[in-house]
A and B are shown apart, each in its own frame.
Chain A
Amino acid sequence: MNAQAIAQVLVSGLLIGLMYALIAAGLSLIFGLMDVVNFAHGEFLMMGMYITFGLFVGMQLDPVLAVPIVGAALFMAGVLVYLLLVRYAMRAEANVGMVQIFSTFGLGTLMQGLAQYFLTPDYRQVSGSWLANKTIELGGVFLPLPQIAGAVVSLLAFGGLYLLMSRTDFGRALEATREDQGAVALVGIDRNRVFALGWGLGLALVGVAGAMLANFYYIHPQVGGAFSGIAYVVVALGGFGSVFGALAGGVVVGLVEALTTLVLPASMKTVGVYVLYLLVVVLRPSGLFGKP
Chain B
Amino acid sequence: MGTAAVSSGATQGVVAGYRVHRRRQVLSVLAVLAVLALLPLLVHDAYLRNVLILTLLYASLAQAWNILGGYCGQISLGHALYFGIGAYATSVLYVNYGLLPWFGMAVGAVLAAAMALLLGWMCFRLKGHYFSIATLVIAEIGLLLMHNWEFVGAAMGIQWPLGPDSWATLQFARDKAPYFYFVLGLFAITWVISFQVEGSRWGYWWRAVKDNPEASESLGVTVFSSKMAAAALSASLTAVGGSFYAAFVAYIDPDSVMHFRFSLLMVLPVVLGGLGTLWGPLLGAVILIPLTEVTRSYLGGSGTGIDLIIYGALVMLVSVLKPEGLVGLFGQFRGRRGAGGAA
Residues 213 to 239 of chain B near chain A (Cβ within 8 Å): none
Is B130 part of the contact surface with A, judged by Cβ < 8 Å?
A: yes
Shortest Cβ gap from A137 to chain B (Å): 34
Residues 290 to 343 of chain B near chain A (Cβ within 8 Å): 303-317, 319-320, 323-324, 337, 341
Bound: A112/B313 CA distance, A:
11
**Which of A95, A98, A111, A236 touches B130 (beta carbons < 8 Å)?**
A236
Q: Total contacts A to B, CB within 8 angstroms? A: 134
Q: Give the interface segment out of A174-182, A203-211, A277-285.
A: A277-285
Chain B residues closer than 8 Å to A103, beta-carbon distance: 316, 319-320
User: A229, B140: Cβ atoms under 8 Å?
Assistant: yes
Across the interface, name the chain A residue whose C-beta is closest to B141: A274
Query: Known contacts A106-B319, A232-B137, A271-B144: does B126 contact A281 (CB below 8 Å)?
Result: yes
Q: Say what secondary structure dominates the interface of chain B.
A: helix
Query: Known contacts A113-B308, A113-B312, A267-B147: does B133 contact A232 (CB below 8 Å)?
Result: yes
Bound: A27/B19 CA distance, A:
48
**Which of B123, B276, B319 touches A281 (beta carbons < 8 Å)?**
B123
A 109-121 binary contact with B (CB < 8 Å = 1; else 0):
1111111110001
Is A132 part of the contact surface with B, judged by Cβ < 8 Å?
A: no
User: A102, B130: Cβ atoms under 8 Å?
Assistant: no
Query: Known contacts A112-B305, A117-B305, A225-B260: does B341 contact A106 (CB below 8 Å)?
Result: no
Shortest Cβ gap from B342 to chain A (Å): 12
Is B24 part of the contact surface with A, judged by Cβ < 8 Å?
A: no
Is B275 part of the contact surface with A, judged by Cβ < 8 Å?
A: yes
Chain A residues closer than 8 Å to B148, beta-carbon distance: 265, 267-268
A 146-161 binary contact with B (CB < 8 Å = 1; else 0):
0000000000000000
Bound: A29/B315 CA distance, A:
25
Across the interface, name the chain B residue whose C-beta is closest to A98: B275
Shortest Cβ gap from B59 to chain A (Å): 19
Q: Give the interface segment out of A3-11, A47-55, A56-64, A84-92.
A: A84-92
User: A112, B129: Cβ atoms under 8 Å?
Assistant: no
Bound: A253/B323 CA distance, A:
36
Bound: A115/B341 CA distance, A:
40
User: B305, A221: Cβ atoms under 8 Å?
Assistant: yes
Is A97 part of the contact surface with B, judged by Cβ < 8 Å?
A: yes
Is B84 part of the contact surface with A, judged by Cβ < 8 Å?
A: no
Bound: A178/B51 CA distance, A:
48
Is B197 part of the contact surface with A, judged by Cβ < 8 Å?
A: no
Shortest Cβ gap from B328 to chain A (Å): 8
User: B144, A268: Cβ atoms under 8 Å?
Assistant: yes
Bound: A121/B305 CA distance, A:
9
User: A236, B323: Cβ atoms under 8 Å?
Assistant: no
Chain A residues closer than 8 Å to B309, beta-carbon distance: 110, 113-114, 117
Is A94 part of the contact surface with B, judged by Cβ < 8 Å?
A: yes
Residues 66 to 86 of chain A near chain B (Cβ within 8 Å): 85
User: A110, B313: Cβ atoms under 8 Å?
Assistant: yes
Chain B residues closer than 8 Å to A221, beta-carbon distance: 305
Shortest Cβ gap from A98 to chain B (Å): 5
Query: Known contacts A221-B305, A232-B133, A236-B130: does B140 contact A102 (CB below 8 Å)?
Result: no
Shortest Cβ gap from B293 to chain A (Å): 16
User: B311, A113: Cβ atoms under 8 Å?
Assistant: yes
Across the interface, name the chain A residue whose C-beta is closest to B125: A285
Query: Known contacts A106-B311, A106-B315: does B133 contact A282 (CB below 8 Å)?
Result: no
Across the interface, name the chain B residue whose C-beta is closest to A93: B323
User: A85, B316: Cβ atoms under 8 Å?
Assistant: yes
**Which of A93, A101, A232, A274 touches B75 (beta carbons < 8 Å)?**
A101
User: B306, A113: Cβ atoms under 8 Å?
Assistant: yes
Is B93 part of the contact surface with A, judged by Cβ < 8 Å?
A: no
Query: Known contacts A88-B320, A116-B308: does B126 contact A105 (CB below 8 Å)?
Result: no
Shortest Cβ gap from B2 to chain A (Å): 20
Known: A103-B319, A281-B134. 11 other contacts (CB 8 A): A85-B316, A94-B337, A95-B275, A98-B69, A99-B320, A106-B316, A107-B316, A112-B312, A113-B306, A233-B137, A285-B126
Can you list 22 contacts pairing A with B, beta carbon distance less than 8 Å?
Answer: A89-B320, A94-B323, A94-B324, A95-B276, A97-B129, A98-B319, A101-B77, A103-B320, A105-B315, A106-B313, A109-B308, A111-B312, A113-B307, A113-B309, A117-B306, A270-B144, A277-B137, A278-B122, A278-B138, A281-B122, A281-B126, A281-B134
Which A-B residue pairs are the 3 nearest by beta carbons?
A116-B305, A110-B312, A113-B308
